[in-house]
Amino acid sequence: MRVFNFAAGPAALPLAVLEQARDEMTDWRGSGMSVMEVSHRSKAFIAVAQQAEADLRELLDIPAHYKVLFLQGGATAQFAAIPMNLAPPDARVDYLNTGAWSAKAISEAARYCQVNVAADARDSHYTSVPPVSDWKLSQAAAYVHYTPNETIGGVEFGFVPEVSAPLVADMSSTILSRPIDVSRFGLIYAGAQKNIGPAGLCVAIVRDDLLGKARRGTPGVWDYQAVAAAGSMLNTPPTFAWYLAGLVFKWLRAQGGLAAVGERNRAKAELLYTTIDQSGFYRNPVDPAYRSWMNVPFMLAAPALDQTFLTEANAAGLRNLEGHRSVGGMRASLYNATPIDAVRALSAFMLDFMRRYG
Ligand code: PMP
């Protein structure tokens, strides 16, 4: 039996994708082998890899002057790879701090260059985005980094910042959740384990003029230019994760592409926030203008009921609702593979729980 899985990542994958992978597991397209058992340099696998890239380009409408890189080391490796590739050692770089993941990106970048925290949401306890008029951007930053969606805090930018330096975005928990204008960005990166596929893969989309600037000492596997020149096969890539991401991209196209997917995600989020706001029992602390469509944290009126809520939710097939250990409470992640029926079931459960305990 499949449950409704609200995990923040690794997260739910589309059932149709898992079933296709299962059906192809031992005899992949008549080869008599699993896709995991063939060379990454074989014609058959290269076709899979190229098709995945083509489908991702189609979904996000990625312009031709951007490279798509399939990397390892998660988004965390990119926290270091970004300054190594885009900023000389004496460079100044701007970061917007809107929560836990921005903070991690900042502390890693600070090991490689001078970081200016141009805006800090500390005063709002990381429940909002500081007004643009308060941002203190540098004159000549090598780039501006931000986290469009904070997975833990549930804070999401509803806009793309207007900056003159190349804009770098950690889209780990929002990529593919709706259409975006890639041309506004210098670099987009995302760990795969939410809206792309299995953990072990990290996708980067980088504008051509930002390639070839890696500082001395950058490991070869993290040098964007070298990786791009090798078609992301400088060494053995995570072939199964890449194949599965390709199946997810095909599934997204069959769903009608990102405009359709985005509308569904908006409806899912609206349903859950409405349930929370109208309850008088549940509470979401985030400024309504910056509420995430993908990660919805919420508190119960009485934290003493948290454990009962989780136990009963589990029994009802609603899984992985516990909030991040750093903030407590609950969190429902509503990535692409989570259907609206899951949100309806959660919403009904929440109302019933409130009637019984509120
Ligand atoms: N950035 C964001 C926004 C995330 O949500 C996460 C993981 N939850 C990371 C970075 C770190 O990703 P990884 O574990 O792939 O290194």
CATH classification at residue 344: 3.90.1150.10
Active-site residue list: 101, 170, 194
Model pLDDT for residues 67-106, shown as the tens digit of each residue:
999 999 999 999 999 999 999 999 999 999 999 999 999 9
Q: Give the residue from 204, 230, 254 where a domain finishes.
A: 254
Determine if ligand 1 sits within 6 Å of the CB of residue 72. no
Bond prior to 88 in cis (omega within 30° of 0): no
Q: Which atom of ligand 1 is nearest to the CA of 193?
A: 15
Confidence (pLDDT) at 143: 98
* Whole-number percent of the chain with pLDDT over 90: 98
0.75 cut: is pTM over it?
yes
Is 129 part of any domain?
yes
1: pLDDT confidence band, cut at 50, 70 and 90? Answer: confident
Is residue 103 domain-shared with residue 221, that is, in the same domain? Answer: yes
335: pLDDT confidence band, cut at 50, 70 and 90? Answer: very high
Determine if ligand 1 sits within 6 Å of the CB of residue 147. yes
Is residue 225 domain-shared with residue 270, that is, in the same domain? Answer: no
Per the structure, the count of domains in the chain is: 2
Confidence (pLDDT) at 75: 98
Is residue 249 domain-shared with residue 298, that is, in the same domain? Answer: no
Is residue 177 domain-shared with residue 284, that is, in the same domain? Answer: no
CA dist list (Å): 261 to 58, 271, 274: 14, 16, 20
Q: Give the residue from 254, 277, 309 where a domain finishes.
A: 254
The Cα 289–Cα 323 span in angstroms is 21
Is residue 231 domain-shared with residue 332, that is, in the same domain? Answer: no
Is residue 126 domain-shared with residue 196, that is, in the same domain? Answer: yes
Model pLDDT for residues 18-56, shown as the tens digit of each residue:
999 999 999 999 999 999 999 999 999 999 999 999 999
Domain boundaries, position 267: 257-357
Determine if ligand 1 sits within 6 Å of the CB of residue 153. no
The Cα 115–Cα 108 span in angstroms is 10
120: pLDDT confidence band, cut at 50, 70 and 90? Answer: very high
Determine if ligand 1 sits within 6 Å of the CB of residue 232. no
Is 3 part of any domain?
no
Nearest CA to ligand 1 atom 12: 75
Is 5 part of any domain?
no
Is residue 179 domain-shared with residue 291, that is, in the same domain? Answer: no
Is residue 193 domain-shared with residue 78, that is, in the same domain? Answer: yes
Confidence (pLDDT) at 261: 98
Q: Which atom of ligand 1 is nearest to the CA of 151?
A: 5
Determine if ligand 1 sits within 6 Å of the CB of residue 335. no
Model pLDDT for residues 132-157, shown as the tens digit of each residue:
999 999 999 999 999 999 999 999 99
For residue 280, is pLDDT > 90? yes
Q: Which atom of ligand 1 is nearest to the CA of 202?
A: 15
Nearest CA to ligand 1 atom 10: 75
Is residue 29 domain-shared with residue 70, that is, in the same domain? Answer: yes
Ligand 1 midpoint to CA 191 (Å): 6
Q: Give the residue from 254, 284, 318 where a domain finishes.
A: 254
Residue pair 56/185 in contact by the 8 Å Cβ criterion: no
For residue 210, is pLDDT > 90? yes
Is residue 238 domain-shared with residue 276, that is, in the same domain? Answer: no
Residue pair 71/208 in contact by the 8 Å Cβ criterion: no
Scanning the structure block, which residue is given the tokens 């953990």? Answer: 199
For residue 307, is pLDDT > 90? yes
Is residue 64 domain-shared with residue 187, that is, in the same domain? Answer: yes
Is 106 part of any domain?
yes
Residue pair 197/241 in contact by the 8 Å Cβ criterion: yes
Is residue 222 domain-shared with residue 312, that is, in the same domain? Answer: no
